[in-house]
Chain A
Amino acid sequence: MAINNNAIKISQKHLLGIQDLSISDVKLILDEAKKFISLNKSKNKKLDILRGKTQINLFFEPSTRTQSSFELAGKRLGADVMSMNITNSAIKKGETLIDTAMTLNAMHPDIIVVRHQDSGASNLLSQKVNCSVLNAGDGRREHPTQALLDALTIIEKKKKIEGLRIAICGDILHSRVARSNIFLLNMLGAEVNIVAPTNLMPKDIEKFGVKTFSNMKEGVKDCDIVMMLRLQNERMSSSFLSSNREYYEYYGLTPDKLEKAKKDAIIMHPGPMNRGIEIDTKLADDINKSVIKEQVELGVAVRMACLKIFCEK
């Protein structure tokens, strides 16, 4: 497929969250991403759309897949990509996020990709720099590119999103992936079920237009998609849950629970997975049901689309 260089119009300067996007913004990104899927499978993957552009990956929180995905996406588009892991440099010297932003801004980047442990960090950063900011995850708030790649995966597999019933299961409280997905899937017309123990269910989340379940079998009933989230093990210490064992029993995705979903239901997971805690290891690897590898693959395409669109903004 031919990939043109024409500038595409998007309503936002930054990609901070799905909350800020319009449905046409989302369609724009997904359409653009589709063009990159075949490119990423071909032999020569390099383009020069972003030649001469500087992309800075600013990661305040450790990340393997998101960071490498963004790095690869930038490189395939021909940008100069610089990755900074701030966990062990400036922060320890007492530098604030705004100071870091000012420093980087002075280097005239064209786009900054940021991940931070605090909700709202990307918003704050975007107010202080001249270039576009892409949020690669801020605290528990949003992880927009993950939701976009999940949507793309669903479209690839199910050909549509509208009218599908989708269960998002697990640690919703601490999950930015869950929040972004709720906003996006809702916007695209899916019916969203949220499954979590009440201790891990955010207050008033049903006001976002989702149904909530603390019984997993009820929550996944007749679903087309079962999206599992990573249980953040550090939660165990604060009495959110009694044990991994019990969590697996009630909220781990096992064949008997999956049976309640539709026969052709697919399994998704943003990774990294805790096998045997939130998901049965055989199910995770079942190529007929699990699309976890496809999610990673399409992640690069979605990030290429975002970089292209927002770099040109």
Chain B
Amino acid sequence: MKKQYFLNANIVDPANSVEELGGLIINENGKIEAIGKKVNKNNIPSREKFIDLKEKYIFPGLIDMRVFVGEPGFEYKENFKTLSNAALAGGVTSVVTMPNTSPVIDNVSMVDFLKRRGRDKSKINIYPTATLTKNLEGNNMNEFGLLQKKGIIGFTDGIKTIQNTRVMSRIMKSAYDLNSLIIQHAEDFELAKNGQVNDGIIATKLGLHGIPDYAEKIIVERDLSLLQDYNCRYHISQISSAKSLEVIKRSKDNVNFTTGVSINNLSLNENDIGDFRTFLKLSPPLRTEDDRLSLIKGINQDLIEVIVSDHKPEDEESKRLTFSQAATGASGIETLLSLALELFHNESLKLSKIIQCLTSNPAKILKIDKGSLSIGNDADFCIVDLFKPWIVKKENMISKSKNTCIEDKKLQGKVLNTYIKGVELYKC
């Protein structure tokens, strides 16, 4: 590989508190050699070719902490290859995959399979999680130690929550011993039973079973109480309501934990469901506008550290049903950044805060050397036109499943190129 020079770019690298016009040098091994305002036309060798980015933006490659891939078992929804292409189109260079596959990821041999498939079929960095409990049943804790030795980054039951408090407390103790990362999807099963949408005016109007916001709050509250005794590495996968945020705010001084939020809950609310749009059937559900606004506030107050796409590809057949029968989830990895940039354009969030929640914060939680443009790191990054307008169209989607919840939405800001280890793997 030849040395590469990118000049005249707006560089945003929250990990190193860099937000300035400058350049980026990538060495022959695909590592970052220099970065920032000191990299300019005057101090690079004159014989070298360089790319003038004309004040386009450079962000570290995004880390998406909540991604469902169909392998194994649901390859018709998404496989490693299609996921990887969709991710690259969205500037995402690292993903944390959920273990809700068929069979589920709950043993060492499955990890070997995943690593092999991930290596052979995808171009992005795959960080697989395994289940918290055997077969997602919520009873018997998994082998956290052995699995993380094999390369598992963290443990979660993905779309399920540990309901049994005793099991949860034991999981925390074990995770404490083994320094394992626990990721909880917070939802009380009985309270959310048969629930389709937020419990409120929309549920009442559409005649759908509601999921009350306290179904989430109760689990958050319970886990944070348990955490006071055994403060293992604990991350709430995503929250959706102001009530949960209040609990988080109260607990921040007592215990260490982190919290995520789906870009869908930050950008949409329950009114967007309209006339039974099944593509907006999500978990956690879209809630009220007040909830959405408090989630944004939560990011600004550093109560929420991570923004995820909650990328959950579902084939058309499982969405072309009545609302209660339709599958839950939306495909969103390729629109994650653009949709998040809407929050910058409408002045809800600062650009560096958005990028922090998509890069350096997840890296810190996962303890990986990604999500930054630090010298010596792999050159995983994306080049973004922050102002380019475009419209989300189903037919232009790269993911194998087209179940986007923002179809026909007008967005501003698009990824132009994505690089991993200094190699350009996507070009708009």
Residue positions of A touching B, CB distance < 8 A = 19, 96-98, 116, 118-121, 123-124, 138-142, 176, 179, 202-205, 207-208
Contacts and interface: CB of A to CB of B under 8 A. Distances in A.
Contacts of A97: 321-322
Contact of B207 (A98, A124, A139, A207): A139
Interface string B212-236: 1000000000000000000000000
B277 to A, nearest CB: 10
A288 B325 CA distance: 45
User: Which 8 A-B residue pairings sit nearest by Cβ, starting from the closest?
Assistant: A141-B207, A140-B207, A119-B207, A118-B322, A120-B276, A202-B204, A204-B201, A121-B322
B320 A98 contact: yes
Contacts of B317: 96
B200 A118 contact: no
Interface of B: 199-201, 203-208, 210, 212, 275-276, 317, 320-325
Given A203-B200, A203-B201, A207-B201, A179 B322 contact: no
Given A98-B320, A120-B207, A208-B205, 5 more contacts: A96-B321, A119-B207, A120-B322, A121-B322, A138-B207
A141 B206 contact: yes
Contacts of A120: 206-208, 275-276, 322-323
A144 B199 CA distance: 23
B205 A19 contact: yes
A241 B49 CA distance: 77
13 contacts: A96-B321, A116-B322, A118-B324, A119-B322, A120-B206, A120-B276, A121-B322, A124-B321, A138-B207, A140-B208, A179-B207, A204-B201, A208-B204
Contacts of A204: 200-201, 204
Given A138-B207, A141-B206, A124 B201 contact: no
Nearest to A207: B201
A19 B208 CA distance: 15
- Residue of B203, B276, B322 with highest tally of chain A CB at under 10 A: B322
Nearest to B208: A119
A57 to B, nearest CB: 19
Nearest to A20: B275
Contacts, number: 63
Nearest to A205: B204
Contacts of A138: 207
Contacts of A123: 275-276
A177 to B, nearest CB: 11
B323 A118 contact: yes
Contacts of B275: 120, 123
A124 B321 CA distance: 8
Given A203-B199, A203-B210, A119 B323 contact: yes
B322 A203 contact: no
A143 to B, nearest CB: 10
Contacts of B321: 96-98, 124
B206 A119 contact: yes
Nearest to A125: B322
A116 B323 CA distance: 12
A124 B204 contact: no
A139 B194 CA distance: 13
A83 B208 CA distance: 27
B207 A203 contact: no
A204 B199 CA distance: 9
B150 to A, nearest CB: 39
A98 B316 CA distance: 12
Nearest to B321: A96
Contacts of A142: 207
Contacts of A202: 203-204
Given A203-B200, A203-B203, A124 B210 contact: no
A13 to B, nearest CB: 14
A204 B198 CA distance: 11
Contacts of A98: 320-321
Nearest to A97: B322
A90 to B, nearest CB: 14
Contacts of B276: 119-120, 123-124
A97 to B, nearest CB: 6
A208 B207 CA distance: 13
A176 B207 CA distance: 7
B201 A96 contact: no
A99 B26 CA distance: 55
B327 to A, nearest CB: 13
A201 to B, nearest CB: 10
A257 to B, nearest CB: 26
B324 A139 contact: yes
A22 B205 CA distance: 17
A251 to B, nearest CB: 20
Contacts of B199: 203
Nearest to A202: B204
Nearest to B288: A204
A19 B201 CA distance: 14
A141 to B, nearest CB: 3
A56 B302 CA distance: 58
B414 to A, nearest CB: 32
